[in-house]
Amino acid sequence: MPKYLSLILSSLLLIAVVWLLSMPLGPLPPAGSFFHPVQGFWANAETQPVTGLIEFPESAVSAPVEVYYDERGVPHIFAENDEDLYFAQGYVTARDRLFQMELQIRGAGGMLAEWLGPDLVEYDRNQRRLGMLYGAESAMEEIGNHPEIASAIQAYADGVNAFISSLRYETYPIEYKLLNVEPAEWRPLNTALLLKYMTQMLAARNSDVATSNTLARFGEEFVDNYLSERPDLMDPIIPPDTPWNFNPVPDIPVAPDTLYQPSFSDPIELWQPDRLNGSNNWVVDGSKTAGGYPILSNDMHLNMSMPSIWYEVQLQTPDHNAYGVSLQGTPTIIVGFNERIAWGSTNTGADVMDWYEITFRDENRSEYLHDGEWKPVESRLEIIQVNGAEAVIDTLLFTHHGPVYQTREPLPPGRTIQRDHALRWIGHDPSNELLTFYKLNRAENYEDFHEAFRTYKAPAQNMNFASVEGDIAMQTGGVFPLKWRHQGRTVGDGSDPRYDWHGFVPYDHNPRALNPDRGYLSAANQFPAAESYPYYLGDDFAPFERGRRINDLLAEMDEITVDDFREMLMDSYSYHAELALPVMLEALMESVETVENLPMAGLLDQLASWDFMNHGDEIEPSVFYIWWGHLYDAIWGSKYDLEHAMRRPDRDITADLLVQNPESVLFDDPSTDSRESLADLAHSSYREAIRELRNRYGDDPQSWQWSRVNNTTLNHIAQINGFEIPDLSTDGGRESINAIRGSHGPSWRMVVELDPEGVRGYGVYPGGQSGNPGSRAYDQFVETWRTGELYELDFMREKPVNNEGYELVIRFE
């Protein structure tokens, strides 16, 4: 009997082990599948970025397509027509970045809970309430009016799905195994949704509620002077002497006599894009270059991740040949060059997202007041699938403004303030941004470039341009609502038609410049145009520092080469420190408290002799930025109501206050009986800064190096520990041209020479071509990016002879 009992127990134990290995444990995958020696995570290890020849067995293309890979793993796709080209682009992009593609789409459309469970329901609900899927569906209707784009998106989806159909569990990207999920079919809608996601990242930052609260507390004069004013050093993107060769629209609506002012409002709990999202671009004509032809540069500032948001690729058919970076999920090149032109992008940041307080007729919310009438509310059902739980059904309400963001709690007794807000946002409008990039890939001259943006809507961009013909230009592409001055700066009255958008600025009235006398153009997210520009685009643009620094350098440069621009991309100078630090040091000397009594007083001499360069191996940037942060809080923190969202002045406005008015009453803390001065705040904030540095980094100042404080880490897109690239030692700062601040910064650096004898490009992004952490191509470019070097981009004019120097990896027939 013991013998049989032992056998029975062993069998039961084996069954239990097999069952445990086959079951997911919480968020973890089934251990048996994940650790399987052939099919599990071991199968994801790669020693080469590309291997062997893949000949596609089915007739998915109408003519042969060949994909060559260079030594950096960049695919060069040669096709005979557009449909076959974009089929191949979808296939090769999915081959390297499938998990990233799907994760982005799920994040954009509010579909993460289907993978990750109930904790993501609220995020998904917010994305649905923002109208992301609604906007993507509207875009698909517009795309249907352009057969060449509809065909391109469908071909791209077919290519992605061809790759997905070739997968088995052992060849799934490792993240699918970790999450215990399968790749979903790629739909054409996903491309529209990804482009709307870019609109969210770059054109969904708003401060209407916060500004309304600030206006209620401090009044209009404060808001005008400290939230809307342009500093003296603000240099607009379009040169101030540029003539406006048009007659403004004559019927811009007139502002109400009394601005609608809601009382203190609760914040609208939507995901806000990073305020640091932006970019630099600049271009010079042949009069300023060593070669006598234009040179263009661009570096786009976004959250830097592993893998990169960008994917490098070359696309060639008999009618065009383009090279650059694409987004995972869209056909075409988004930023790059062809054999005739080059183009780069920076974010405009104009106000294209407005909130309105809505007056409903009753608690049923079936009618709302507008222009003296009760109008019907429309509804849309959103079903959020949830892993491990029942689906969540959410009903979205729509006014003519757009979707209503409803509060989750009833109004407390006695409160009559309306807290439901409707959103008017450019991201909801039908659009076809891909048509613009399709045309850019094929453009040959300035006229083609200018016309490519005629149908472009969002996110609005400052696009720089250069051609082999010698032209340079800056074009603000996108649509901007016609508004009276400061319309949309605060929450509007949803019942008053004067607060509605009244059409859009005509495209030919958008800010632009062509071949300026000074020989250069640049953009760094600052105000697009001088105050003489007749249309109101908003007042919340980037501080002046990067734009001013770029123009200062370009004005002094001649005989420019690619290497000059490579060095300029790495420029870490802080205009902000140059303005603010001398005043801060002088204020310390004016205090009744002696400097000798301050902690680490010897650091003040180092700060006084600092060259304002944010070098990673120096401590001066660390001391200044931590000190500045505490001083900024000391100036404004005591004056703001912390119970409500409020908008504070930008750093350049605050620095301007220190320089222009060091005796300002704004340095006083109203909560105390005494009258504080700038000197008092400088002393107390310096002490706080030293205390913070000691607490966080130790007592030895040599451990306060800026690279440690700035802490540049390239996090995995799904925040999976072990897949990040941690603790990179970098220079730069948020106000430097090299705008690295933590994990945010230059996501693609590019320089292009528009030599008529052959366009040449140079570039790099932080990451690698492969999204597989087990591949050496995962982080192949990181060190090159970190040190500021650029790869010469292998812009092939024709297929290689005998595959010399390349590997023919994929052939579609």
Angle between helix 620-636 and helix 575-590 axes, rounded to 10 deg: 70
Contacts of 520 (CB under 8 A, 6+ apart): 282, 283, 284, 285, 288, 472, 551, 554, 555
Residue 280's nearest CA partner among 457, 436, 446, 462 is 462
* CB 276 within 8 Å of CB 293: no
List 392's β-bridge partners, or say none: 384
CA separation for the pair 598, 327 (Å, rounded):
51
Q: Is 351 annotated as a binding residue?
A: yes
CA separation for the pair 149, 145 (Å, rounded):
9
CA separation for the pair 517, 239 (Å, rounded):
10
Q: Annotated catalytic residue: which of 138, 279, 495, 522?
A: 279
CA separation for the pair 757, 766 (Å, rounded):
30
* CB 138 within 8 Å of CB 430: yes
Annotated catalytic residue 345? no
Residue 693's nearest CA partner among 619, 605, 606, 594 is 619
Largest CA distance in the chain: 102
SS3 assignment, position 805 = coil
CA separation for the pair 327, 204 (Å, rounded):
19
Helices (H), 425-574: 433-442, 446-452, 545-556, 562-569
Whole-number CA gyration radius for the chain? 28
* CB 380 within 8 Å of CB 444: no
Going by DSSP bridges, is the β-strand pair 65-69/807-812 parallel, antiparallel, or unpaired? antiparallel
Residue 478's nearest CA partner among 530, 429, 549, 411 is 429
Distances in whole angstroms, Cα of residue 328 to Cα of each of 191, 682, 755, 810: 9, 48, 30, 19
DSSP 397: E
Number of H helices, E strands in the chain: 22, 28
* CB 199 within 8 Å of CB 458: yes
- The amino acid that residue 654 corresponds to is T
Angle between helix 575-590 and helix 678-697 axes, rounded to 10 deg: 110
List 520's β-bridge partners, or say none: 284
Return binding residues for Ca(2+).
351, 354
Q: List residues with catalytic annotation.
A: 279
